[in-house]
Every structure is written in C-alpha cells, then in structure tokens.
Amino acid sequence: MKLTQGFRMAIKSVLSSKLRTALSMLGILIGVATVIALVGMGQGSTKQVEEQVASLGTNSLSVTITGRGTATSLSLDDAMALADIPNVEGVSPTVSGSATVKYGKNSTSVTVEGITPDYEQVSDFSVQSGRYIASMDVKNTQKVALIGVDTATELFEEEDPVGKTIQVNGSRFTIVGLLEAKGSSLTGSNDEKIAIPITTGQKLFDSVGVRTVALKVTDLDLMDITVAALEAKLLEKFRGDDSSYRVFNQQDAVETLNSVNETMNTMLLYVAAITLLVGGIGVMNIMLVSVTERTREIGIRKSLGAKRRDILFQFLVEAVVISGMGGALGIGFGYLGSYVIGVVNGTDTSVPFNTVILSFAFSAFVGIVFGIFPANKASRLKPVDALRHD
C-alpha cells in the first residue's frame, strides 16, 4: 500500500465517524493545549522574575543586622567604611519605617526610607524632576524629601509635587525631587515611598544605628572574594558573633529563583504528559472498537489480496491522523490559553517554536505507540474468521 493511499483511506475512515473521532482526539487536544499554555505561562513567569531580580541588581549585596549579640546595629560611619573593601563601588546604608504622610486633605500611609546620596548609584534610582538628597542634607539633618510617583499622584493628583510641603508623622518636609517610576520588585512597590536624609530618618524613627546596608560591586567575577572580605570585616566588628548579621547575595537569589521556577515548570509539564498519556489510551480504546466494528471489512480486504502489513499500516495511520489532528488543534487552543493567562496575570507569555514542534511530534508519537496494539490485532485477523464475524 502506498503512503498516500493509506492516508486517504485513514482520513476517509476518520471522517466517517466525526463524533467518535472528536471525542477520541479530545484527550490529545487537552494534553497538547496544556503543554503549550503551561510553557507560555512558565516563560512569562520566568521573564517576570528575571526582570524583578534585575531591578534589584545582580551586582548588589545587602547586609542586614539581626540585632543579636552585644552590638545591635552599625553606626553610620561604620556602614560607610564598608566602601573601603576592595571591589566595592558604592555603599548605601538605609533606615526605614512606615509613616503617615499628609498634604492638605489627602493622606496616605507609606514606607519612608532614610538614605544617603549614594543611594542613587547603588540602587540605580534617580529623580525625574527636582534634585536628589545631597551630602549637606545628611550633614545638617534637613527635612527634605524625595517622593515616589504613586505617592505623588495619591497626594497631589495632577499637581507638580516638587517644592510642596508635606507632613510626615506631623513633621513638615519640603519635597525636593520626584523619583522616577520603577514599578514593583521582589521587595514591594518602589513607587509608593518617600525618601529623606538618613540622619533625619534616624531622628524621625528614633533609630540610633543602621541595620540595612546595600553595596554595589565592580566585578561580578570577584563576588565570592568580596563577600568573604565583607563577612570578615563584620565578624571583626561583632566580635566573632556571626549570628549578628546576614549577607545577602543577589546573584544567589537569581539562581535560587530560577531553580525554583524550573522545578515548577517541570512539574507542570509532567502533569501535561500524564494528560497526553490518558489521551493516548483513549485513542487506543477507540481504535480497538473500530477494529471490532470493521472485522468484516478487514476479512474482505484480506480475501482480495491485502497483506498483513497493509492492514497494520492502515490502522496505524488512522491512529496517527487522529492524534495529529488533536495535536494541531491543541496547539491552537494552547496559544489561546497562553494569551488569556497573560492577559489575566498581566504578564507577557511566549511559547518557543521548538516546544510547538515537540508537542506536535509527541502527539503523533502517542498515536503510533497506542495505535500499534489495535493495528496489530487487526492485521492478525484471519480472512475466514473475519468474514464469519457477525
């Protein structure tokens, strides 16, 4: 039997029972659609995580003082002295707390951060209008502030906030700069905040020392050496008590998050593979029913000279056609599902082309695997027994 003739007969047979064919390919369709949609969702979530981590900076380190031991914080001078460590490009100590901010009749509760001028470089967070916190502001404990775009909109609506006076926990502050829009990161929204000089922040929150320090390194290849030098300096400061501080490496966070994301995506693909397996069993079941119903047809064809391989090929092609059609429809529904998931979650989903090819190939492979048994059963029927079948 020629290949083209086999496909024509298979398609004719498949189309002769449309409802049964549709039901048999449903499992394959759902499985492939699930693979496409989940891969698209996984790609979107991976991209989102990478963007959020990138906003924190993979060349950054952060030190958190836990408050244990005899020393519960670093002085501002001690924190700034960490800049002397080789490969450290900049240091940005911060103090933070929640405060109520008012302007006229509008008020909101936001995070207030006490920062130094180096915060702009270390955190890559500039102003879009006005000026930044200056060294003189820190030295003189000035009551000036930078405001995030969301907080500015909430308090001032359409007004330009620069130059306006607000109340932070009852104290009057002059806004000197409007921060650029940064969106959200793993640490929360970057646009719902107010930044003030660190010395003013210490006074506002009655905080003597500094418990959070961000550092920016020059060479990522020397990250491990820099972390070791930083920990050695902190260990000396806290008299050998390594429970008094924690050093957090952003690069380690990237690797951990990517590992977790890959694990989740792999688990989702396992679920999709099980769905395809169930779909394959459905195809095999339908093909077995088809063999039983068409026993006389098989007997007639064999009596007319059809060989065993012709019968085997015919039913195997039918199984592959059913699975292939289910796979093709599943790809379409998978793209649709991926798009809907992206719209609902507000993320950009994307499906690699190689995933589409592999999904279709796997659906056809499922047809071959689960079509072999019914096809083999049909090919083994003896003409005399098949013609006697009622």
Dist CA 152 CA 178 (whole Å): 8
pTM of the model: 0.58
So what's the pLDDT on residue 172? 95
So what's the pLDDT on residue 71? 64
So what's the pLDDT on residue 388? 57
Other C-beta atoms closer than 10 Å to the C-beta of 118 total 20
Do residues 314 and 287 lie in contact, with contact meaning Cβ atoms separated by under 8 Å? no
So what's the pLDDT on residue 115? 94
So what's the pLDDT on residue 68? 57
Dist CA 59 CA 222 (whole Å): 10
So what's the pLDDT on residue 50? 61
So what's the pLDDT on residue 142? 95
So what's the pLDDT on residue 165? 94
**What one-letter code names the amino acid at 370?**
F
Dist CA 194 CA 143 (whole Å): 12
Secondary-structure breakdown of the chain: helix, strand, coil percentages, each rounded to the nearest 5: 60, 20, 20
Dist CA 253 CA 266 (whole Å): 20
Dist CA 385 CA 271 (whole Å): 43
Cα distance between the two ends of the chain: 27
Per-residue b/e over 358-375, b at no fewer than 16 CB within 10 Å?
ebbebbbbbbeebbbebb
Q: Is the dihedral of CA 306, 310, 311, 314 positive or negative?
A: negative
DSSP readout, 308-350?
HHHHHHHHHHHHHHHHHHHHHHHHHHHHHHHHHHHHHHT----
So what's the pLDDT on residue 353? 80
Beta bridge partners of 167: 102, 172
Dist CA 146 CA 169 (whole Å): 16
Other C-beta atoms closer than 10 Å to the C-beta of 92 total 25
**What one-letter code names the amino acid at 295?**
T
So what's the pLDDT on residue 218? 87
| Spans in the chain with pLDDT lower than 50 | 69, 386
So what's the pLDDT on residue 239? 80
| CB-based contacts of 317, cutoff 8 Å, min separation 6 | 6, 7, 9, 10
Nearest Cα to 62, choosing from 251, 220, 198, 258? 251
Q: Helix 308-345 crosses helix 18-56 at what angle (to 10 degrees)? A: 40
So what's the pLDDT on residue 381? 63
